[in-house]
Structure 1
């Protein structure tokens, strides 16, 4: 096995080690995760929403460097997760020699907040003025403006300089796929690999960063209760992280057990239902109290005789993905990616837009503090169009509108959720997924607003029934459109 035997990874408690925290104030579970990373070959960290995964990774990196365990390869499946770690390192008090290796160079210009640490920008600064101008064309993918000789010369030059830059770095950050870069293979030794979003990573993808030379310490950080990778290949249905949790119980996974994101009223149901009350609140009601908003959770129910109805729409053509990585089909559940159909609910979209405009115009909530989520891409597009059309002011377009899946890993002060599905058969498709539900309900810090047909949701899912009853018991369900 790449990391050798794990026989030394005991199920007993991790022995405390003597060291001083370098950058972060950590709670007990966070410090235990850092202890494990310093003393064990394999560390599994379960990080529920808002539990400080990036904070823990930051301190792990600093402690490992302090003890001579570098260079460290930090990977994740998404640019968002890697950029969060990179930004945390950049903003820390302690300077770290690090390099970000992006997959798409043009997405990280010198003006980008991470531009100064991106490999291609560092390379460019070391080139002559003429070569730098030509190299900029490669960055912008303007290859037709280069002669074959110029391209060959620049690639040779940038590769040579890139090797030297990576060779001096103590931390290298990339997506899992970018870890296959030929330049990364020139690094002689990577004693430590830290994989964030490990619940998203399939076994084949996990082998990419693990194939770098010299790995003797692996840290996997993820949350099996949130969305993972989607695949139609049964053997790839579980992530590397989930398989490690199942097959290596002796590794004694560490759960970060304090959440610092959500108002306790927002977090209570997910904590009890999805995390068996093992997750505690690190913020109080007063910490997350908003003077402008009365309740931390609202469910606007438009069910009844005048209930809004959904519409099935064919999705716009898009680039086909390899069948292996399409969304998994569940028995009796409509999957929009497989069938190339999506759902919209125009009346519900109008209600969501009205709520967003009230937040912006009446309550004067800054638009960049607001997020809108939906399971369906067509509903996302309709809501985005309505908000942009009705807002009139460019500043109002800072509201982030995205699918639930795309919002994983993000947070906003206020989140408005469009549930979309409303039909006599009580079919809710994507919404009948506990992991997706968990992600949706854990994005908001101060206020979570849901708009949907409560009866449709309750009749199709026992978990949605529990949640709506939970809200109803607390007088947080508000009936609309009844006659």
Structure 2
């Protein structure tokens, strides 16, 4: 039973009048009506009715008459009218998001209170010794500042801070410690560009000891909570249908008319994925292990959809993947808009960005001229005058001009967004104010395994149909609250829909196009039930194909680079190569391993392998920083596995770091990260580690056995 309020009754109306109206006017059964409480002073009644009858009673009787008196009827608690399973989902994820936010807030507060700046930098959540320089404005008039290390040519330390993060900029000045909050819009090895909604204070440009701290991104949590409101109260039939699919209240449908797309560039399973995706009316799922052609398939689906007039939204968790998909689509001649800030500097991609296109629109140019003219009135007295932050001092006439400016800018944005056939952006950028009013025929969610459900729902509820692509054996959602993860926040939308609809709505790719067959073998055996098959174009590739110089030298570096060994395990267990712990805070590095890695890099380059074709992967930021400090080759990429998502190198060198008497593995226990690392190499992997420590874990013991069987095991 739920309680309905009848407002506007007078003293002539009693319980009998109410029951009679419900039965005669609505057709409510008597057993669907419970207790009735008349409140004469408030001129209202409280009536208990069954949930199944409540909506119809409100629909018919609100603004209708009871006993000749016009009344209003509504639920005492509006949420009572929503189905229980919808409310259960809503409350569950509201609770889980609250747990995760609280955990992140607690982590930040504890670290800021108890860790030194250098300790927090070692954890990847602070960058020290930076200086700022003005970098102009964004198209929507945010201030941009580019931060770089104080020392020339120095790289920014390995860090978790990336585009989209909220950060706090701090410096000690003559006025004491000053700070301002901003958002990272771009990051590379040498620069960090941050946007600000207000004019940054002078210290941002003048200080030589700027500190940048990773802060909690409240906007992302607000966005996810907002999309949960849409689950509770869908704004249109498209959302209602998708929510029914989400909760298994209705089954996904397919067009009865068969759609067959033939393409010589696709294999059989890829063609099936394209055809089923085009035939789907609601959802389709594509599970693709590394290098099995998920991106190629997604591009074909998008291309075919655009040809039929569909408007398509493409999202992913990372900017890199969004850029990669955008570049593929641009190469196909797709009319595409890249919403957000690309990592890649490809000019064709930059030319397709929202920021680049909007400044060329006539409406936007008119708006900027009005801004310029208006600003001149105030520049004499206020050199740093900015319209956005000084609206309160404008007269009424000037405020009307500002409204005109905003209308012109909005018109320019709408023109660009409307003209694009495909919009590519990150999952959270879908919540931008510029995209709020847009709906799509199709949304494609790449890296769907990485997004928690509320994050993926942003794109899922934006389109009539959604195709999700992912691989649960690679990166998973980034959750720091163990309790939230345990209660279900770690389960992605891809997981949920796979569990519900795998029989009819899922295809699994098996044909990989990157790795040498022997390299592929271990990942296939351990992570993919031995189902992966190497395409002939990749099956037998080795470093010998790249004209690598060979030598008869017995040095371990030379032996490790032999082309006939695609898999090499360099065992440090007999060496004095113990791990070190930085600041006693679980930040591990291994100087001996770092020296070995550097020797291997030098030998690889000496053997004629391009530095750009070499990747070094290690789970520990302290190890990355140590190797970077001494690495002579700027093009060699040294990072954690996550940074290599969707990418490949000819040679991957892996540094395990951990070497201790207790067989403590720490981050090495994350086997999804291991799988990601082992599947980045095309021709060779050199794994450096202490077998006595790491082989206490079954997967590493099996890796050692596998290497001895098909590759080179070398005890240092």
Measured against the shorter chain, the TM-score band is 0.7 to 0.9
User: What residue is the counterpart of 1:205 in the other structure?
Assistant: 455
2-structure distance, mates of 1:167, 1:422: 57
Alpha-carbon distance in 1 for matches of 2:683, 2:384: 51
Taking a change above 3 Å as real, the CA distance of residues 211 and 464 of structure 1, as seen in their structure-2 partners, is: same
Q: 1:249 Cα shift?
A: 3.2
Question: Bigger shift: 348-357 or 247-256?
Answer: 247-256
How far is the alpha carbon of 1:129 from its aligned partner? 9.5
Report how far residue 406 of structure 1 moved. Answer: 2.0
Counterpart in the other structure of 1:177: 428
Q: Please list every run of 5 or more consecutive structure 1 residues that lacks an aligned counterpart in the other structure.
A: 136-143, 316-339
Check 1:134–1:341 CA distance in 2 against 1; reply closer, same or farther (3 A cut): farther
Partner of 2:290 in structure 1? Answer: 49
Cα distance in 2 for partners of 1:134, 1:352 equals 55
Separation of aligned partners in 2, 1:145 and 1:417: 50
In structure 2, the partner of 1:350 is: 595
Larger Rg: 2
Give the drift of 1:372: 0.6
Contact 1:264–1:283 (CA under 8 A) maintained in structure 2: no
Aligned residue for 2:274, secondary structure, equals helix
**Secondary structure at the counterpart of residue 413 of structure 2:** helix
Structure 2: how far apart are the matches of 1:349 and 1:267? 26
Secondary structure of the structure 2 residue equivalent to 1:186: coil
Q: How far is 1:124 from its partner?
A: 1.1
Determine if contact 2:516/2:538 at 8 Å carries over to the other structure. Answer: yes
Q: Report the equivalent of 1:230.
A: 478
Deviations 1:302-333 (A, max 9, x none): 111x2301111149xxxxxxxxxxxxxxxxxx
Q: Which residue of the partner structure matches residue 339 of structure 2? A: 101
**8 Å Cα contact 2:517-2:538 kept in structure 1:** yes
What is the aligned length?
A: 424
Shift of 1:458: 0.7
The one of 643, 646, 650 equivalent to 1:409 is: 646
Please, which moves more after superposition, 228-237 or 437-446? 228-237
Q: CA deviation at 1:354?
A: 0.7
1:194 aligns with 2:444: yes
How many Å separate the matches in 2 of 1:444 and 1:50? 11
Per chain length, whose mean CA-contact separation is higher, i.e. which structure has more relative contact order (CA < 8 Å, sep 6+)?
Answer: 1
Distance, in Å, in 2 between the alignment partners of 1:446 and 1:47 is: 21
Helix, strand or coil at the partner of 2:543: coil
In the alignment, the residues of structure 2 paired with residue 177 and residue 468 of structure 1 have an alpha-carbon distance, to the nearest angstrom, of 41
Q: CA RMSD in A?
A: 2.6
Q: Which residue does 1:17 correspond to in 2?
A: 259
Deviation, 1:15, is 8.6
TM-score w.r.t. the length of structure 1 is: 0.82
User: Offset at 1:240?
Assistant: 1.2
- Ranges in structure 2 where 5+ consecutive residues have no aligned partner: 1-239, 373-382, 391-401, 549-561
Distance 1:49 1:122 in 2: 34
The answer as to 2:332 corresponding to 1:89 is no
Deviation at 1:156, TM superposition (A): 4.8
Task: For residue 603 of structure 2, give the secondary structure of its aligned residue in structure 1.
Answer: helix
Matched residues in 1 for 2:384 and 2:314: separation? 35
Q: Report the CA distance shift for 1:167/1:430 in structure 2 as closer, same or farther (over 3 A).
A: same
Shift of 1:159: 2.8
Match of 1:474 in 2: 710
Note closer, same or farther for the CA distance 1:408–1:108 as it changes in structure 2 (3 Å cut). closer
Q: Deviations over 1:1-21 (max 9, x none)?
A: 4425552548xxx99633344
* Deviations 1:322-370, CA, capped at 9 Å, x for gaps: xxxxxxxxxxxxxxxxxx632100110010011001111x212111111
Which residue in the other structure is 2:353 paired with?
118
Task: Answer yes or no: is the 8 Å Cα contact 2:566–2:711 preserved in 1.
Answer: no
> 1:324 maps to which residue?
none
Deviation at 1:157, TM superposition (A): 3.7
Match of 1:311 in 2: 580
SS in 2 for 1:467: helix
